[in-house]
Amino acid sequence: MSNYLEKYRNIGIAAHIDAGKTTVTERILFYTGVSHKIGEVHEGEATMDWMEQERERGITITSAATTCTWKNHQINIIDTPGHVDFTIEVGRSLRVLDGVVAVFCGVGGVQPQSETVWRQASRYKVPRIIFVNKLDRIGADFFKVLDDVNLKLKGNAVAMQIPVGQSDEFKSIIDILKGQMALFSEEDRGLTVKWVDVPEEYKDQLQELKSKIVEKAAELDDSLAERFLNEEEISVDEIKAALRKGTIERKITLAFCGTAFKNKGVQLLLDAVTDYLPSPLDIAAVEGMVPGTDVVEQRSAKLDEPFSGLIFKLMTDPFVGSLNFIRVYSGRITSGSYVYNATKGSKERVSRLLKMHANKKEEISELRAGDIGAIVGIKDATTGDTLCDENHPIILEKIDVPPPVISTSIEPKNKSDYEKLTLSLRKMMQEDPSFHFSYDKETNQTVISGMGELHLEIIVDRLKREHKIDVAQGRLQVAFKETIQKPVEIEGKYIKQTGGRGQYGHVWLKLEPLSRGKGYEFENKIVGGSIPREFIPAVEKGLDEAKNTGVLGGYPTVDFKAVLFDGSYHDVDSSELAFKMAASMAFKSGMAQADPVLLEPIMKVEVETPEEYMGDVMGDLNSRRGRILGMDSKIGNSVITSEVPLAEMFGYATQLRSMSKGRATYSMEFECYREVSKSAQEQLLKK
C-alpha cells in the first residue's frame, strides 16, 4: 500500500546567496520535462523566482515548491532563499523535507549562509548531499570546497565525481563508481549524456578516489567491512546501498559537481537524488504530543494511519485566497473533507487541494502520506499548525521562528489607506512569521520589524505594488531588548478606595535572570490561599504586558523568570484588574533594582577584500565595536570574520565600497543577543 513512497523524494535546494540554487532548480525542471524552456535568473525569467521583486533583484525571496519526475521517481522540490534576511523560509522548508541538496559555489566554498543552512539541516536531522556548482569560473576548485566543508562544517564529505578540466577549461565529469566520463551534448543543452572511457591522465586519481569510497562504504556496513579486510570484490550496487544508508543516517555527505549554467552535472545530480537521498519510508516516524497531555505519539508514512500534517507556509493568492502549504506525514486528506487543527482546537473544511508549481496551481482530489501540497479553505491557521484526524489528535513539533532585529516606522501617504494598511500587514505577517508589526500609541505610528534592511525594503515594496498602498518610511531602528542581572524579591500593592467598592491587589514576586535566549518564564508558587486561584492568570497577564516595556529604554524584557510566591487579597475589593496592576507595579519596581542591562543584536559579518585594504577594513570593523574572530585567504583575497553590533552596521555597504574602491564584498547574519557595555549603553540611550 505504501510502495509508491519508495519512489518519492521530498528535497530542498539550499545554499548561500549567489551559489546558483535557482539555476540548478531551473535545469532540474528542464531535464525532467516540467518546463520546455530554461528560465535564467540574470534575465529575470526564472520559473521559481516568480515574484516581481525576485526577478528585478536576481535573488530568491520566498521558497517555491514544485514537483517533477525523474526515472520513475516523483521529486517534490522546494527552492529556498540564500539571503540571510529570509532565513525563516529555509528553516520552515527544512522542517518538512526528507533530504537537502546543499549547493556550494566552486570559488566561494563554505560561506556564512551555508553554515546557517547546514546548522538548520542538522537541527531537523535532514540528510544531505553536496553539489559544487560554478566549476567553469576562474579559481573554482572542487576538492578545495570539500576540504572547506570537512573543516568548517564537519561534513565528512566524500567525492563521488572528478571534474575534467579546471575553471574556464572545465568540460566534463568522471563518475568514480561507474568508471566512465560523461559528455554533455551542446545541441540539446545537456539533455543527452554520452558515456565514454576515462582519459589516461585521470586513471590513477580515479583508482585512488574509488578505493576511498569503498573504504567509506566498508566503515558504514559491517558485512562489507569484513569482505573489505579480506580483500574480496564488492559490487557497485553494494557500495551504493552502504553509501545510501550512511547518507540517511547522516554519517556521510556525498559530493557531486558541475556547472548548472553551462548545463553540466545537474543530470547526474538527479540520479544521485534518487540513488542516495531518502524516501518518506526511510525517515523515522514523526513524533508529536497528544493535545492537553504529556503523551508522545508517532505517525508513520502509511495510508492506513490517522491523517496528520504540518502547515509550514501560508501564502495569499489574489484568485483563490489563502493557500496553506502542508506536508502530509500520515494517512490522506481529500477535498471537501473536514480536518482538525490540533494547535488551535478548531475544525476546518478543506474546499480544494492543489499541487503547486512555483505560483502555478494544479487541482487534485487528494494528498497522501509523503505529499507536499496546498489547501484552500482553511481560515484560522498559522505557520507551524498541525492538521489531523479529529478522533486521533496530535500536535507535531512547531517551527522555530527567529526574532526580528530591525524595525522602522511607516505611514500611508493617503490617510484613507490606514485601515487597508493594517489588513495588508496582517496578511503579510501570516505569510511570514519573522515579520512583525505594531502600532505605537505614543507616536501614532505603525512600526514594522524584520530580519534586516532588505527584508523591510521588500515589505514596503510589496505594500506599494501588491496592495497599492504608498507609504512613507521612517529611520531604521535596532530591536534592542532588556534583561536583569541579579535576583530580587519585590512587593506590588494596588489599593484604591473611591467611596464605593475599592480595588485591592497584593503580590510578592521574585525576579531571577535566565541564560541568554531562554525568553520569559512564569512560575506560581502560591501554597494555600494567600491569593485565590482565579486571580493567578491576572497576575500572569499583568507581567506579560509589563515586560513589553522595560525600565531602561522601554524595550521588551527577556531572559528572566518571575516567581509568584506570596500576596494577600480582600474578600470584597479584590479583582482581576487589581492583581494585574499589582503585578505590573511589582515588575517595574523590581526591574529597577535588579541591575537592568540593555541587550543588542550581534551580527556575524564576513568581509572578503583584496589584501591591500585589509588593514582599513579591520580598523573600520573595530571602530564599529566589532570583534575580529579570524582571517582566511581565498584566491588572492583576505576573508575577515567578525562579530559586530547591528546598531553600528547601518550604511556599511557604502563605507566598504568607498574603502576598497568597490572591490570588497560582505555578508551579514544574525548571531545572538548580547549585553551592551556600560559606556555603549549610555551612548545608545542618549540617542
Provide the grid cell at 131: 553539489
Is 32 annotated in some ligand binding site? no
Residue 559 CB partners (closer than 8 Å, separation 6+) = 483, 513, 514, 515, 516, 517, 518, 519, 520, 599
Report CA 68 to chain centroid distance, whole Å: 24
Per-position DSSP letters for 372-441, written without gaps between them: EEEEES--S--TTPEEE-TTS--EE-----PPP-EEEEEEESSGGGHHHHHHHHHHHHHH-TT-EEEEET
Indicate the CATH number of 286-396 among 2.30.30.140, 3.30.2320.50, 2.40.30.10, 2.40.50.100: 2.40.30.10
Measured CA to CA, the distance from residue 256 to residue 238 in angstroms comes to: 19
- Domain 481-594, what fold? Ribosomal Protein S5; domain 2 (3.30.230)
Residue 615 in 3-state DSSP? helix
Residue 528 CB partners (closer than 8 Å, separation 6+) = none
Is 499 annotated in some ligand binding site? no
Residue 626 in 3-state DSSP? coil
Q: Looking up cell 527567529, which residue turns up?
A: 402
Residue 489 CB partners (closer than 8 Å, separation 6+) = 508, 509, 510, 590
Measured CA to CA, the distance from residue 388 to residue 330 in angstroms comes to: 9
Measured CA to CA, the distance from residue 569 to residue 505 in angstroms comes to: 6
Does the CA dihedral 541-545-548-553 come out positive or negative? negative
Measured CA to CA, the distance from residue 57 to residue 663 in angstroms comes to: 20
Residue 64: the pLDDT is 64
Measured CA to CA, the distance from residue 404 to residue 556 in angstroms comes to: 12
Q: Return the DSSP state at 460.
A: H
Provide the grid cell at 156: 565528512
Is 444 annotated in some ligand binding site? no
Residue 412: the pLDDT is 85
So where are the chain's domains? 4-199+251-276, 286-396, 406-474, 481-594, 599-686
Strand ordering across the sheet containing 395-396: 296-299, 286-289, 395-396
Measured CA to CA, the distance from residue 462 to residue 464 in angstroms comes to: 5
Q: Which stretches of 19-171 are assigned E, i.e. beta strand? A: 64-70, 73-79, 99-105, 128-133, 157-159, 161-164
* Residues pairing with 352 in the sheet: 376
Q: For residue 340, give the H/E element and its range.
A: strand 338-341
Residue 58: the pLDDT is 46
Compute CA distances 528 → 521, 525, 572, whole Å: 22, 10, 19
Measured CA to CA, the distance from residue 200 to residue 202 in angstroms comes to: 5
Measured CA to CA, the distance from residue 610 to residue 144 in angstroms comes to: 20
Tens-place pLDDT, residues 294-328: 889 999 998 889 999 998 888 777 677 778 888 99
Q: Looking up cell 509508491, which residue turns up?
A: 4
Provide the grid cell at 437: 508589526
Do the two domains 4-199+251-276 and 599-686 of this chain adopt the same fold?
A: no
Residue 44: the pLDDT is 41
Is residue 35 within 8 A of residue 67, CB to CB? The reply is no
pTM over 0.75: no
Angle 47-50-51 (CA atoms, 0-180°, nearest 5)? Answer: 160
Q: Return the DSSP state at 400.
A: -
Q: Return the DSSP state at 488.
A: E
Nearest to 404, CA basis, from 447, 372, 362: 447
Measured CA to CA, the distance from residue 592 to residue 596 in angstroms comes to: 6
Q: Taking the C-alpha atoms of 509, 512, 516 and 517 in order, what is their torsion angle to the nearest 10 degrees?
A: -30
Is 141 annotated in some ligand binding site? no
Is 136 annotated in some ligand binding site? yes
Q: Looking up cell 531537523, which residue turns up?
A: 124
Is 595 annotated in some ligand binding site? no
Q: What is the C-alpha end-to-end distance of the chain, expressed in Å?
A: 66
Is 21 annotated in some ligand binding site? yes
Phi and psi torsions of 436, nearest 5°:
-125, 155
Domain 599-686 has CATH 3.40.50.10470: no
Where the chain has pLDDT below 50, the residues are 1-2, 39-51, 53-61
Residue 607 backbone zone (phi > 0: left; psi -120 to 50: alpha; other: beta): beta
Provide the grid cell at 126: 535532514
* Residues pairing with 24 in the sheet: none
Residue 168 in 3-state DSSP? helix
Q: Return the DSSP state at 7.
A: G
Is 82 annotated in some ligand binding site? yes
Return the CATH number of the domain spanning residue range 406-474.
Answer: 3.30.70.870
- Domain 4-199+251-276, what fold? Rossmann fold (3.40.50)
Provide the grid cell at 36: 520546455
Is 192 annotated in some ligand binding site? no
Is 271 annotated in some ligand binding site? no
Residue 51: the pLDDT is 44
Beta strand pairing call for 360-364 and 253-257: unpaired
Q: Looking up cell 541579579, which residue turns up?
A: 486
Is 18 annotated in some ligand binding site? yes
Nearest to 370, CA basis, from 436, 291, 280, 295: 280
Beta strand pairing call for 346-349 and 338-341: antiparallel
Alpha helices in 1-40 (DSSP H): 21-31
Is residue 643 within 8 A of residue 626, CB to CB? The reply is yes
Residue 53: the pLDDT is 47
Measured CA to CA, the distance from residue 199 to residue 41 in angstroms comes to: 34
